[in-house]
Structures are given as C-alpha cells and as structure tokens.
C-alpha cells in the first residue's frame, strides 16, 4: 500500500487538513479514551508498552531482590517479608514454595513481559513508522489489540500471584511433568492454569504485533526508502518480528498439548509416573522431552527476539554519537539475517543432557557455534565504528557501549556452553545463569535503556536529567558485572541453579560469603533502577523542553517530524528519502539527513 493510499484510508483521514496545525490534539475526534487508552497512534501504543513493561520490570526486579535475600542471608529473618508476603514468608523467612514461585515469575516476566513486549513492543511501535516514513502502522487497530492482549495477559499473570496455592513455581520453562501435575507441586494447580492463559494471551499479542511490524516495514516505506536504505534499527526489528511470527505458534502448540494433558486426560507428555501420596497415574506412552522441543523451538529464537532490537538500536546510537557511519552496513544486515536463520536451528542445545541422540546433539553443536561468527562480525563492526570517531557520551551512547561490553562478555561464554562436551559439566549451574543474564538479560536491558534515553526527546519532547542518567549507567554497569561475573566461578564449582539453600551441600556451601556479596550488590543496583524510573517520570512532566527539531544532528526520518508529532507524524507530505541513514562525517559535512538529495559532486562509498 502506498502512503498516498494510507492517507485516504479512514485512520489517516483528515491529515491533509492539518497541514497548518502542529498539535494534533486539537483534532475534534479525539477524546481522553481514544488518545490515551484505546489509542491507535503507534507512538501512544509504544508508550503504553513501555510503561507496562516498566511496571513489570519493577515487579520482576523486586522478586529477584526478595529471592536474593534468601540466597544471601539464608539464616536471617526479615519481619517485613511477613508483612509483604504473609504466609509465604512466615516468621520473616521466605518459604521454598514462595522462593520457587518468585524465581519462576521473575524469569517469565522478565523474558516475556519486559524484554519482549517492553522492548520490541515499545521500539517496534515507536520507531518503525517514524524511521521508514509512514503515518502509522499497516493496521493501527490490530496494533491497539496487540497492546490490549498484552495488558490482559499482564492482568491474568498478576492475578495468578493471589491464588490459594500460589503462582506457578516450576521454573519459567515450565517443563512437564512437573508443570502438568498439581500433585507434584502445589504451584502447578490454579497458578499454572493462569500462567498458561496469560502466556496464550501473550502469544496472541505478540503475533498481532509482529504481523503488523512485518507488513508495515515491507509495504509502507516512504518514497525512496529502499530496503537497503533502512536504518539498522528497522532491519533488526523486522527480523525480530519474523522470528516471533514463526516461532510463537510452535510454543502455543506446546501449551495446547500441555493444557490437554492437564485437563483432559491426554498423555502427550506423561508416561510411567508414580506420585507419592497419589500413586501410579494412568498415563502411558507420552514423552516429556517433546515439550522441551516445542518450548525451545520458540525458546531459543526468543533469545534473539530479545537481543536483536537491542543490537539494532545500539548500531544506530553508536553511529549517531560517534558522528561516523556504522561500519559495514551490509555485513550488519547480513549478520542479522544469519542470526535470524540460525536462531531456528539451534534449539536443542538447551537439551544436551536430556538423553538426546548424540548425533543430533553434534549437529546442534556445530550450528550453535556457527552463531559466534555473525556475532563476532557485529562486535568487530561496532568497535570499528568507534575507531577514529568523535564520540559524544550521551546517556544513550553510554548504554550502547555498555551493551557491546556485556554482549562480548556474555557471548563468549556461549562458546563454552554451546560445546556439548563442556555443557555436560556446566549445564544448569550458575555458569548458565551468568551467561544468559549477561548476554540476554542485562545486555538487552542496556539496549532498552539506550533506546529510552536516546529517543526520550522524541517521545515526550523533553530531556531526561543527564547527571542522574550517568549515575544510573555507571552503577548499573559496574553492578551488573559484580553480580554476574563471580557466578561463573560458582558454576565452575558445579553449583546448581534454582536451589533454595546450599548450606547442607558439602560441595557448594563455600560460597556463602559470595552469595551475600551478590545479594547486596543486587539491592544497590535495583535501587539505582528506581533512580532511573524517577528520572523518567519526572522528566516526562518536568524535564527540560526540547527546542530543536533534530537535537542529535541525526540523519534518520524521525528527526524531520515536529518536536511533538501528532497522529500521522508529519505535517504535510511525508519526506522523500535520497540516501542511506549513515552519512556522518562525509565530505567534511557533520551529517547529511536522509532527506537531502545526493549532490552532483558528492563522493560515493
């Protein structure tokens, strides 16, 4: 669909008449409900995703602080915990039930609700139309539904925390039979039903969003915006959406079978089970491993669904603030593509110790370690982008540099874990926790912070406070390393994940002091995130106002819109694009916007 056609479609109707008014809220159709609640403006939906994601990030982060209290101070009691959690922390000590529920919900919420919905939901919505030159998404209505399905998923997930036997507590991967049998774990009762409903709603949300992002990127680019002129953010968000659309349905099918096993007496995943206190179950012939295949067929692409948007934004921010083109644009696109393809071919590396056929395992080793090649290309290209640049340390830039550092640190340990013979030793130990928290959790979080700081002026027409941002960055970077780096050593001692208490283990109890250290740092880092939140919300209302249309002197199209763009983004015609997004420092010019026609005497690259 061309932009002209969109202009005449109902959602864009009336935009032509607005050529002389900057502020769209004068639009006579708009009410509070249609502007802030059931909004179809991609920018508002992005903010809805962002703020919902922030709420979940605080809850998920708080959960980690609570279970870190148990790990760091297994002997201590904290009376305030009883006030907060009631019977789940009788006498001020978190019970194992509550501990496992916290661990599980922390994982689910951060992977799906924060780093999937909060990250790609926010930035795909916000940046795709603005950077490709479109008035809105291909289907603003579907886009709105996408958010509200996410909201519904959030409500259901939240409600699962208040049921009698607690929320689901079998780990975020929800492996059956544990997740299928309420008799094996109390959290696998009503809590698990709600968990599954929440996740099903989440899958719907993510598919509605993803299809929309793909359709928008493919069909709604402005005149002159060929695919190879797209900023890398858009390429990354595009591949993310493709990954999600192809893999979430597989997860969904896995969940459907689980729902059948739980409620309708089927035996897809269940076989040969005797539960203490219940006796032998009638189910025979199922395979518990089948679920793991279905789960990780999403589960692994999910890692890249989380990581790719961060990579895209970091590429853009590094280039803008180095005042230099991104190095190797085509290689960056190619490596994103390679990662997206490989993401589908490596899922069984999560299953090396399940009794997988060794030959199959060896294929997955090869494909897994192959991912290191495109990842290496990306890292070296980022480093070369900094080389001989003129770097401005905006908060967004700091977080981007932090992202690269964390991506290197966490990515390299992937080479350990991807090699099955080493994985046998390190699987399900703290080494794995360190690996994926650094490379996926914290790195993507850094990508998200980078995006928020960088595009905040575009989102709200105001600046965030720089001093607070710098503090936030340095505390978080140092803290993240202090929390997760020592965990490699715990992993090298074979210390297993998901233990409530290590004090009875002769092999693992030597880390009591370290656990206390990690817990303390975790609390400080969590407090620093509150600093960020305060900065964010304060600046939304009281921040310094943006006075220039293009505060970073950046090339991309979002900086050609008004400071506070209305629904439809551009006043009048959508600008035409004449070049790629990375002409920084070319021919002695500081920057050349994508909308500037190519001059006759301009050098080519």
* DSSP class of 167: S
> What is the nearest approach in angstroms of another protein to the Cβ of residue 253?
20
Phi then psi for residue 556, to 5 deg, are: -75, 165
Pick 219 or 354: Cβ nearer another protein: 354
User: What is the full DSSP assignment across 415-431?
Assistant: HHHHSHHHHHHHTTBHH
Round to whole Å and give the CA distance between 171 and 67.
Answer: 14
> What is the nearest approach in angstroms of another protein to the Cβ of residue 5?
35
- How many other β-carbons are positioned within 10 Å of the β-carbon of residue 161? 17
Pick 194 or 528: Cβ nearer another protein: 528
Round to whole Å and give the CA distance between 412 and 427.
Answer: 16
Q: How far is CA 22 from the centre of its chain?
A: 33
Which candidate, 204, 237, 133, places its Cα nearest to that of 447? 237
Pick 34 or 271: Cβ nearer another protein: 271
Pick 177 or 210: Cβ nearer another protein: 177
> What is the nearest approach in angstroms of another protein to the Cβ of residue 377?
6
Pick 36 or 393: Cβ nearer another protein: 393
Q: How far apart are the first and last CA of the chain?
A: 32
- Angle, helices 288-322 vs 395-418, to 10°: value is 140
Round to whole Å and give the CA distance between 210 and 379.
Answer: 27
Which candidate, 37, 31, 39, places its Cα nearest to that of 11? 39
Q: What's the burial of 424, exposed, middle or buried (CB within 10 Å: 0-12/13-18/19+)? A: exposed
> What is the nearest approach in angstroms of another protein to the Cβ of residue 467?
4
Pick 218 or 424: Cβ nearer another protein: 424
Plot region of 462 (φ>0 → left; ψ -120 to 50 → alpha; else → beta): beta
Q: Are 556 and 231 in contact (CB under 8 A)?
A: yes
Pick 84 or 152: Cβ nearer another protein: 84
Round to whole Å and give the CA distance between 123 and 136.
Answer: 13
> What is the nearest approach in angstroms of another protein to the Cβ of residue 353?
5
Round to whole Å and give the CA distance between 483 and 177.
Answer: 32
Pick 32 or 274: Cβ nearer another protein: 274
């Amino acid at each position: 669909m061309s932009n002209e056609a969109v202009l005449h479609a109902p959602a864009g109707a009336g935009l032509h008449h607005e050529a002389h008014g900057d502020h769209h809220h004068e639009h006579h159709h708009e009410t509070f409900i249609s502007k802030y609640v059931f909004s179809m403006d991609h920018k508002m939906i992005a903010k809805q995703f962002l703020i919902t994601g922030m709420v979940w990030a605080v809850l998920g982060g708080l959960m980690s602080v609570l279970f870190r209290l148990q790990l760091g101070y297994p002997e201590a009691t904290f009376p305030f915990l009883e006030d907060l959690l009631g019977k789940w922390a009788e006498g001020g000590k978190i019970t194992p039930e509550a501990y496992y529920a916290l661990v599980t919900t922390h994982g689910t919420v951060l992977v799906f609700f924060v780093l999937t919905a909060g990250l790609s939901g926010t930035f795909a919505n916000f940046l795709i139309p603005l950077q490709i030159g479109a008035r809105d998404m291909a289907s603003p209505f579907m886009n709105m539904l996408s958010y509200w399905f996410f909201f519904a998923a959030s409500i259901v997930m939240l409600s699962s925390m208040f049921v009698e036997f607690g929320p689901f507590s079998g780990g975020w991967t929800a492996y059956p039979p544990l997740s299928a049998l309420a008799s094996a774990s109390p959290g696998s009762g009503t809590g698990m039903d709600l968990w599954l409903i929440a996740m099903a709603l989440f899958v719907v949300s993510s598919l509605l969003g993803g299809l929309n992002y793909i359709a928008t990127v493919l069909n709604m680019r402005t005149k002159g915006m060929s695919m190879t002129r797209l900023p890398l953010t858009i390429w990354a968000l595009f591949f993310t959406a493709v990954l999600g659309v192809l893999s979430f349905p597989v997860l969904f099918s896995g969940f459907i079978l689980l729902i059948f096993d739980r409620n309708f007496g089927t035996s897809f995943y269940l076989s040969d089970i005797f539960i203490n206190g219940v006796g032998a179950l009638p189910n025979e012939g199922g395979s518990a491993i089948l679920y793991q295949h279905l789960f990780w067929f999403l589960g692994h692409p999910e890692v890249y669904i989380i990581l790719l948007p961060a990579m895209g934004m970091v590429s853009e921010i590094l280039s803008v603030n180095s005042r230099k083109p991104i190095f190797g644009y085509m290689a960056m696109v190619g490596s994103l593509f390679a990662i997206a393809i490989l993401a589908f071919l490596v899922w069984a590396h999560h299953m090396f110790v399940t009794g997988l056929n060794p030959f199959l395992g060896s294929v997955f080793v090869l494909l897994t370690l192959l991912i290191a090649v495109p990842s290496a290309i990306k890292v070296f290209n980022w480093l070369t982008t900094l080389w001989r640049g003129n770097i401005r340390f905006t908060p967004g830039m700091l977080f981007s540099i932090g992202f690269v550092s964390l991506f290197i640190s966490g990515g390299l340990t992937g080479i350990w874990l991807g090699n099955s013979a080493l994985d046998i030793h390190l699987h399900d130990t703290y080494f794995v926790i360190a690996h994926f928290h650094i490379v996926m959790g914290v790195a993507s979080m850094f990508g998200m912070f980078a995006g928020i700081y960088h595009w905040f002026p575009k989102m709200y027409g105001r600046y965030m406070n720089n001093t607070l941002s710098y503090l936030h960055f340095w505390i978080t970077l140092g803290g993240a390393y202090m929390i997760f780096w020592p965990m490699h050593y715990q992993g090298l001692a074979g210390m297993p994940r998901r233990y409530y208490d290590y004090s009875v283990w002769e092999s693992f109890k030597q880390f009591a002091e370290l656990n206390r250290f990690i817990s303390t740092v975790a609390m400080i880092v969590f407090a620093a995130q509150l600093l960020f939140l305060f900065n964010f919300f304060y600046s939304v209302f009281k921040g310094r106002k943006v006075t220039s249309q293009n505060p970073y002197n950046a090339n991309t199209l979002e900086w050609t819109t008004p400071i506070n763009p209305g629904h439809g983004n551009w006043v009048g015609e959508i600008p035409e694009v004449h070049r790629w997004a990375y002409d920084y420092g070319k021919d002695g010019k500081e920057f050349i916007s994508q909308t500037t026609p190519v001059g006759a005497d301009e050098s080519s690259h």
